[in-house]
Amino acid sequence: MRDHRLDLYKNSISFGVLARLLGVDDTEAIDVLRARYRRAGPEAQEANLRALAAGFGHADASGLSSGGGPLVLDRAQRDPRMLITGNDAIAAGFLAAGGRFFSGYPITPASEILTFLARHLPRLGGVAMQVEDELAAVNMAIGAALTGTRSMTASSGPGIALMQRASARRGPRRSPWSSWIASGPDPRPGCPPSLSRATSGCSSTAAMGTSPDRLGAR
């Protein structure tokens, strides 16, 4: 494994062993890996195929032959499906709803929304901007909304707290806009990402009584 740089190719090596365990034919596994790395270029593709062959070698040493593993996956009709993250789904929904302006400041785990919209919004005549901080992000989104443009910003945790005052100022102006809260992982070991009561409470009272707020969670 050291010869193939385990840190880079461990998934391809493991895929070779796993394919043997599940009774997947070697040819089919090679085709899947080749398709997966087609966009990465021939060099990356061949490197991962060599790592896959190393995985097959480890399986051979353990007595796992091609197509003859202890577990066999049933053949089924494969329907076209989309593999998408929650952040990408939010960004795509914003585009589909006619959103045309996004301003944001990078913060994990909300940064993916900014990168997604930076790729796709310009093609639809929209604008996605990375600004200097959360205060600029929220104020620019509100300013865009005042022009009649459907706008959005996104942040997480402390970034949402920084946006509070601007969120309150938009109330009297009745400017509709969207803010997406991406929840980070709980700092305690073994705890999954969750929208804490502190974050939801902070967000649900962002307008400070100047206008009704709506908070949704997924």
Say what the pLDDT of residue 134 is: 92
99 & 41 share domain? no
Confidence of residue 83 (pLDDT cuts 50, 70, 90): confident
Per-residue exposure over 171-202, b if at least 16 CB sit within 10 Å of its own CB, e if not: beeebebbbbbbbbeeeeeeeeeeeeeebbeb
Beta strand pairing call for 127-130 and 151-155: unpaired
pLDDT band for position 177 (50/70/90)? low
Which tokens sit at 198? 């502190």
Averaged pLDDT, 66-84 = 79
Identify the residue with better confidence: 198 or 163.
163
114 & 47 share domain: no
In a domain, 96, yes or no: yes
Owner of token pair 């206008």 = 211
Residue 170 has pLDDT above 70, yes or no: no
d(C-alpha 14, C-alpha 1), whole Å:
10
Residues 35, 107 share a domain:
no
Residue 24 lies in a domain: yes
In this model, does residue 217 exceed pLDDT 70? no
**109 and 36 assigned to the same domain:** no
Asked whether residue 70 is assigned to any structural domain, the reply reads no
**Most confidently modeled range among 39-43, 118-122, 143-147:** 118-122
**Average model confidence (pLDDT) for the chain?**
80
156 and 182 in contact (C-beta within 8 Å)?
A: yes
- Predicted confidence at residue 185, as pLDDT, reads 53
Shared-domain flag, residues 125 and 184:
yes
pLDDT number for residue 180: 62
pLDDT of 129 reads: 96
Residues 135 and 159: beta-carbon distance below 8 Å = no
Q: What is the pLDDT at residue 1?
A: 47
Residues 117 and 40 in one domain: no
- Using DSSP's 3-state secondary structure scheme, residue 75 falls into coil
Is 94 in the same domain as 53? no
107 belongs to a structural domain: yes
At 218, is the pLDDT very low, low, confident or very high (cuts 50, 70, 90)? very low
Instruction: Evaluate whether residue 52 is within a structural domain.
Output: yes
- Among residues 118, 173, 107, which one has the least CA distance to residue 144? 173
Which residue segment(s) compose the domain that 52 sits in? 2-61
* φ/ψ of residue 24, rounded to 5: -80, 130
103 and 194 in a common domain: yes
Taking only the tens place, the pLDDT of each residue in 179-212 is 666 665 555 455 555 555 555 555 555 555 555 5
> Residue 87, SS3?
helix
The helices-and-strands tally (H runs, E runs) of the chain is: 9, 4
Give the count of domains, the chain. 2
For residue 215, name the pLDDT band (cuts at 50, 70, 90): very low
Average pLDDT rounded to a whole number, residues 148-164: 86
pLDDT at residue 51 above 70? yes
Distance CA 17, CA 22 (A): 9
Q: Are 91 and 42 members of one domain?
A: no
pLDDT tens readout for residues 101-142:
999 999 888 899 999 999 999 999 999 999 999 999 999 998
Q: Is residue 77 part of a domain?
A: no
Q: Name the residue with tokens 């200097």.
A: 132
Is position 104 within any domain?
Answer: yes
User: Cα(45)–Cα(30) distance, rounded to whole angstroms?
Assistant: 10
Please name which of 184, 213, 188, 185 lies closest in space to residue 201, comparing C-alpha atoms: 213
Question: Would residue 149 count as lying in a domain?
Answer: yes
> pLDDT per residue over 91-101, tens digit each?
999 999 999 99
Question: What Å distances lie between residue 148 and 91, 129, 135, 157, CA to CA?
Answer: 19, 18, 21, 28
Q: Whole-structure pTM over 0.85, yes or no?
A: no
